[in-house]
Structure 1
Amino acid sequence: MSHLSNKVKKNISTKKSNRLLVICVDRDNDVGEKAGIVTPVIGRDECIEAAQRLALEDPEDADSNSIFSAIKTYEDLVSKGYQVEVVTIAGVKNRGVQADEKILEETKKVLEAFNADGAVIVSDGEDDESVIPVIQNVLPVVSVQRVVMKVSRSVEYSYAVFGKYLKMVAYDSKYSKFFLGVPGILLLIGGIATYFDFTAEIFAVLVSILGGAFLIRAFDIDKAWERWSKPTPMGFIRMFTMVAGILLILSAVPSGIGAVDTELIESDKEIIGKITDKIIIGQFVAGALPILWIGMGAIFAGTLLSNWIGGIPRQISDILRIIVLIALYPTIAQFTNIMIFDESSFTLIPPLLGGLAATLISATILFKKYRKHKEQEMVSD
């Protein structure tokens, strides 16, 4: 019985790995590509030097922390009475089969210098841990340790920025009235409507309010209205020309409808076919075009006039808008002729070239005048 007990104890002691190899795996070879270190790196002091050089080359690389973690694991095992060596092995930059082959060769080379019974793998992610089966071909793996950074600067910064904007949305009236006010109004109206059983009716109201709020904020309509309605000559000019231009643009629709020949519309049947008829489209555009262009010209002219009175140096762009509007008129007018009278599409080329030439000549003259004016201002200063 005592002989059997001694045999069991002997088997248990032989299974214990007294000679361990702590392996830090760098599969994409950052230690070689960035720090110029040739692997395998064998020994505590050599690994410390490799980690320091890599940290100096790229402080954000996690592989240097993995090497330091492997050294700490080595020291802990030494303090517990194990015979341990620490090494750093690397693959190649592109990973893949070549990286695994290189890791296998370096592991065999290390085992020639230190005959180990088991391996402790230290890595910073799943990619490096994928080589564990490769190492197990030549050495049993008894433990795997992953290095995870406790604090990530990017995550910490993201939380700080998120908290700053959240506080801004909650306490800054400029943002809270939209991000909190509009949802608050919608929730309040929705709650009241649900209580009185007006759910179907209030849905259209809520969608309309939300859509209007999005449009106002997306196109800065509130800021534009505030700028136009200021009690100054420029503000009154902009407000008048904007309202007049919008009214003219809207009136272009009935003007276009009135220009359509009523004989072409015999009945209300096949209304889709009537709407898509090119002659009707051409007559509608021809009738709406003059009023539409006058309305847009009124808006552009109002902007030009208000900037000129206020002394804002944007006259060049304002004048070019009006010139482009005038230059495009013949082209669009000819397009309506093609739709109505079935003329050749090549008749669009002359007015298009003429408009383009007028725009380029006007832009050249205006920019030369602007540069000359700037040079005179610089000389006077």
Structure 2
Amino acid sequence: MSQSSKKIEKDVNASTANKLVVICVDRDNDVGEKTGIITPVIGRDACIEAAQRLALEDPEDADSNSIFAAIKTYEDLISKGYQVEVATIAGVKDRGVQADEKILSEAKIVLERFSANGAVIVSDGEDDESVIPVIQNVLPVVSVQRVVMKVSRSVEYSYAVFGKYLKMVAYDSKYSKFFLGVPGILLLIGGIGTVFGYTAEIFAVLISILGGAFLIRAFDVDRAWSNWAKPTPMGFIRMFTVVAGILLILSSVPAGISSVESGLLQSDTELISKITDKVIIGQFVSGALPILWIGLGAIFAGVLLSNWIGGIPRQISDILRIIVLGALYPTVSQFTNIMMYDESSFTLIPPLLAGLATTLVSATILFKKYRKHKHQEMVSD
């Protein structure tokens, strides 16, 4: 055990108090709950007996050390010539308002037994010290002593922080649905799979669910989807165009496969050779390109339309996104021709320059229009 080395002599001498009572505060009533002793405990011998019984009942409880510290403070003040009494007062197990009311009542009882004009508070933590304003209602507090057990301070704070976050995880729906909901689903599926003998298959499903949950939370997919799918006209437009765009993008894969010559796919060459063959790549991209671009265009158009209806000033970036998508189409299309027909790579330059010029001209016109519009708004204001 280690007691704070601070001396209270300076605090006491600076005050007008000449009769002091040293009060050890036990807000959660460990003394009463674990030993059956009725508080307040008044007097040196009674406090020593209470501390000894509490230490025997629970050697790890810090309140017994607080009582011994209060007795030590009492003896130090006696040696300096003060009129002093020592007492232990307690609240109730659940703390709260009832505990503070009980502490106030017991402080009044102590004053009836010993008419002090100042108090020295001894405690082992911030929870007990929170009742200092309660005691000040009946008696001036001239000093506060905190008993610090070796390593107990860091452990106390660690438990407090851990308990706070544990309560947040358990009761805050924002966190519980991920930290409790996902493990709960995994445990439920795992238990059902074990009962029916599908351990290996269920393990693969569990890993997939866990990986999907991590990806969704890591990239804020759930928040993005909730914003996009709000029950408003803009939300329904975004939801429709996104779903339609994704379906079109996915359908571009079979369209690309169907455009590849069947003879190339049915040849005896290995799979790696097939997927790295530039003719096959060119034919696949050529077949998938129209549907893929339509799907992307649907998503971009949905964003533009929803922002326009909602009055969100993002039309310039939304329109430019669609223009860039259209300007890139000839370049990508020409790339597929190079892959399929061994055309010169220099044939990419004309569509690339044309797309770049289209993008620059469109951006210039749109930004000039935007600045003119902003200027008119500022003038009208």
Tell me which interval the TM-score lies in, with the shorter structure as reference length.
0.5 to 0.7
Counterpart residue number, 1:198: 198
Letter of the aligned partner of 1:314 in structure 2? R
Task: String of CA shifts for 1:240-293, please: whole Å, max 9, x gaps.
Answer: 211221121111112111211223334354233222110111011011101100
Letter of the aligned partner of 1:333 in structure 2? S
Counterpart residue number, 2:170: 170
Counterpart residue number, 2:103: none
| Shift in Å, 1:338 | 0.9
Partner Cα separation in structure 1 for residue 255 and residue 361 of structure 2: 34
Partner Cα separation in structure 2 for residue 317 and residue 266 of structure 1: 45
Unaligned 5+ residue runs, structure 2? 1-149
Counterpart residue number, 2:321: 321
Partner Cα separation in structure 1 for residue 162 and residue 320 of structure 2: 43
Counterpart residue number, 1:213: 213
Counterpart residue number, 1:237: 237
| Shift in Å, 1:303 | 0.9
Counterpart residue number, 1:179: 179
Counterpart residue number, 1:366: 366
| Shift in Å, 1:207 | 1.0
Partner Cα separation in structure 2 for residue 362 and residue 157 of structure 1: 60
Q: Secondary structure at the match of 1:312?
A: coil
Partner Cα separation in structure 1 for residue 236 and residue 331 of structure 2: 33
Task: String of CA shifts for 1:28-56, please: whole Å, max 9, x gaps.
Answer: xxxxxxxxxxxxxxxxxxxxxxxxxxxxx
Q: Secondary structure at the match of 1:246?
A: helix
Change in 2 beyond 3 A, CA 1:361/1:161: farther
Determine if the alignment matches structure 1 residue 357 to structure 2 residue 357. Answer: yes
- TM-score under structure 1 length normalisation: 0.54
Partner Cα separation in structure 1 for residue 160 and residue 344 of structure 2: 64
Determine if the alignment matches structure 1 residue 338 to structure 2 residue 338. Answer: yes
Counterpart residue number, 1:375: 375
Partner Cα separation in structure 1 for residue 336 and residue 318 of structure 2: 27
| Shift in Å, 1:216 | 2.5
Determine if the alignment matches structure 1 residue 290 to structure 2 residue 285. Answer: no
Partner Cα separation in structure 1 for residue 365 and residue 348 of structure 2: 26
Q: Secondary structure at the match of 1:186?
A: helix
Change in 2 beyond 3 A, CA 1:262/1:190: closer
Q: Secondary structure at the match of 2:267?
A: coil
| Shift in Å, 1:308 | 0.5
Letter of the aligned partner of 2:286 in structure 1? A
Letter of the aligned partner of 2:332 in structure 1? I
Partner Cα separation in structure 1 for residue 251 and residue 272 of structure 2: 23
Letter of the aligned partner of 1:339 in structure 2? M
Counterpart residue number, 1:303: 303
Counterpart residue number, 2:31: none
| Shift in Å, 1:208 | 1.6
Counterpart residue number, 2:133: none
What pairs with 1:34-73 in structure 2 (closer than 5 Å)? none
Total equivalences in the alignment: 231
Partner Cα separation in structure 2 for residue 315 and residue 171 of structure 1: 42
Unaligned 5+ residue runs, structure 1? 1-149
- TM-score under structure 2 length normalisation: 0.54
Letter of the aligned partner of 1:359 in structure 2? T
Change in 2 beyond 3 A, CA 1:283/1:170: same
Counterpart residue number, 2:15: none
| Shift in Å, 1:185 | 2.0
| Shift in Å, 1:233 | 2.0
Partner Cα separation in structure 2 for residue 288 and residue 185 of structure 1: 38
Determine if the alignment matches structure 1 residue 189 to structure 2 residue 186. Answer: no
| Shift in Å, 1:158 | 10
| Shift in Å, 1:318 | 0.8
Letter of the aligned partner of 2:224 in structure 1? A
Task: String of CA shifts for 1:135-166, please: whole Å, max 9, x gaps.
Answer: xxxxxxxxxxxxxxx99xxx999998877655
Q: Bigger CA drift: 271-280 or 184-193?
A: 184-193
Partner Cα separation in structure 2 for residue 193 and residue 266 of structure 1: 40
Partner Cα separation in structure 2 for residue 307 and residue 346 of structure 1: 40
Q: Secondary structure at the match of 2:313?
A: coil
Determine if the alignment matches structure 1 residue 276 to structure 2 residue 276. Answer: yes
Letter of the aligned partner of 2:216 in structure 1? I
Cα RMSD of the aligned pairs, angstroms, is 3.0
Partner Cα separation in structure 2 for residue 368 and residue 234 of structure 1: 27
